[in-house]
Chains A and B, each alone.
Chain A
Amino acid sequence: MFGLAGPNGAGKSTLIALLLGFLGPTAGTVRIHGLAPRRFVEHHGVGYLSELVNIPPTWRVHQALRRYALLAGVPAGQLHSRVARSIAMLGLEEHRTKRVRQLSKGNLQRLGLAQALLHDESVIVLDEPTHGLDPVWTQRFRDIVQELRRPERIILIASHNLDELARLADRVAILDHGRLQRIVDMRGADPSTRKRAAYRLAVARGAREVLAVFPDARLIARDEYELADRTLEEVNAGVAELLRRGTLLTALHPAHSALETQFREAVAGSAMAQEAS
Chain B
Amino acid sequence: MTTPELTVNISEPALAPRRSARLGSYALWQVRDYALNRGAPTLIVALLFGYLGVSAMLAMVNSPAGPPANLVHHYGSIDAARIAMLHNSSMGFVATFIGTFAFLGALIGMNGVVSNDRKLGFYRFLFAKPVAPSAYYGAEFAVNGICFLVLAAMLAVLYGAIVEPVLTLPLLIAIAAGYLCYAGLGFALSAISRWDWLSLVAVVGAADLLWKLYGNSTNPLAVLLRLLPPLHRTEEVYAAAAHAVALPWQSVLWLAGYGAVAFVVGLAILRHRRLAFN
Output the least CB separation between A8 and chain B (Å): 15
Given contact pairs A30-B6, A73-B22, A22 touches B127 in the complex (Cβ within 8 A): yes
Give Cα A56–Cα B15 distance, bound, in whole angstroms: 31
**Residue from A31, A42, A68 whose CB has the most chain B CB atoms within 10 Å:** A42
**Contact digits for B116-160, partner A, Cβ 8 Å, 1 yes 0 no:** 000011111111111110001000000000000000000000000
Interface residue ranges of B1-35 to A (CB < 8 Å): 3-11, 13-16, 18-23, 25-26, 29
Q: A48-B125, A50-B124, A152-B14 are in contact. Are A28 and B5 (CB under 8 A)?
A: yes
Given A27-B3, A28-B5, A73-B20, are A42 and B125 neighbors across the interface (CB < 8 Å)?
A: no
A182 to chain B, nearest CB (A): 16
Chain B interface SS verdict (over half): loop
Chain A residues whose C-beta falls within 8 Å of the C-beta of B20 in the assembled complex: 42-43, 73
- How far in angstroms is the closest Cβ of chain A from B31? 13
What number of residue pairs across chains A and B have CB atoms under 8 A from each other?
A: 138
Contact with B along A48-80 (1 / 0, CB 8 A): 101010111010000100011011111010000
For B9, list chain A residues within 8 Å (CB).
33
Interface residues in B, total, Cβ within 8 A: 41
Q: Is the Cβ of B14 less than 8 Å from the Cβ of A122?
A: yes
A170, chain B: closest CB distance, angstroms:
15
Closest approach, in angstroms, between the C-beta of A50 and any C-beta of chain B? 4
The reply to whether B124 and A73 contact each other, CB–CB distance below 8 Å, is no
When C-beta atoms are compared, the residue in chain A nearest to B5 turns out to be A28
Q: Indicate if A249 sits at the interface (CB-CB under 8 A).
A: no
Contacts of A154 in B (CB 8 A): 8, 10
CB within 8 Å for A31 and B19 given contacts A41-B127, A70-B26: no
Q: Which residues of B contact A168 (CB under 8 A)?
A: none
Contact B125 A123 (CB under 8 A): no
Known: A17-B276, A21-B274, A56-B122. A72 touches B21 (CB 8 A): yes
Q: A41-B129, A70-B25, A116-B128 are in contact. List 16 more A-B contacts (CB 8 A).
A: A15-B6, A20-B124, A21-B274, A24-B274, A29-B3, A43-B19, A44-B19, A48-B124, A54-B120, A71-B22, A112-B125, A122-B10, A123-B8, A125-B128, A152-B14, A154-B8
Residues of A within 8 A of B (CB): 15, 17-25, 27-33, 38, 41-48, 50, 52, 54-56, 58, 63, 67-68, 70-74, 76, 112, 115-116, 120-123, 125, 151-154
B residues lining the A interface (CB < 8 Å) = 3-11, 13-16, 18-23, 25-26, 29, 36, 120-132, 136, 274-276, 278
Q: List 27 A-B contacts (CB under 8 A).
A: A19-B8, A24-B274, A27-B4, A28-B3, A28-B4, A32-B8, A33-B15, A41-B127, A42-B131, A44-B15, A45-B129, A47-B128, A48-B124, A54-B120, A54-B124, A55-B125, A56-B122, A67-B26, A70-B21, A70-B22, A72-B129, A73-B19, A115-B125, A116-B125, A122-B14, A152-B14, A154-B8
